[in-house]
Amino acid sequence: MDLKKPENITELIKAQRVLLRKYARHMRYLVNEKYKNAALLTYWLFDYLRY
């Protein structure tokens, strides 16, 4: 399925939900196990959103 096509918006939204859940889990892991990496990734994401 091509998520870039507008007719697949429902599937894109579902895929984003799955991705964001996995990402949130991964960030919690990083905060507990690799704090410095979590901080660096957080800075990077804030910079990316400002771009």
Report yes or no on 21 lying in a domain: yes
- Position 51, amino acid: Y
Q: Which residues contact 41 (CB under 8 A, 6 or more apart)?
A: 27, 30
- The whole domain housing 12 covers 6-50
CB atoms within 10 A of CB 37: 13
Total structural domains in the chain? Answer: 1
33 lies in some domain: yes
Tell me the whole-structure pTM to 2 decimals.
Answer: 0.74
Chain centroid offset of residue 14 CA: 13
Q: Is the residue at 1 inside a domain?
A: no
pLDDT by residue (tens digit) across 36-51? 999 999 999 999 999 8
Q: What angle do the packed helices 35-50 and 9-33 form, to 10 degrees? A: 140
How far apart CA 21 and CA 15 sit, in angstroms, is 10
**Does residue 29 fall inside a structural domain?**
yes
Q: What is the pLDDT of residues 4-35, one digit of tens each?
A: 999 999 999 999 999 999 999 999 999 999 99
- Residue 38 included in any domain: yes
32: in domain: yes
Would you state the pLDDT for residue 12?
97
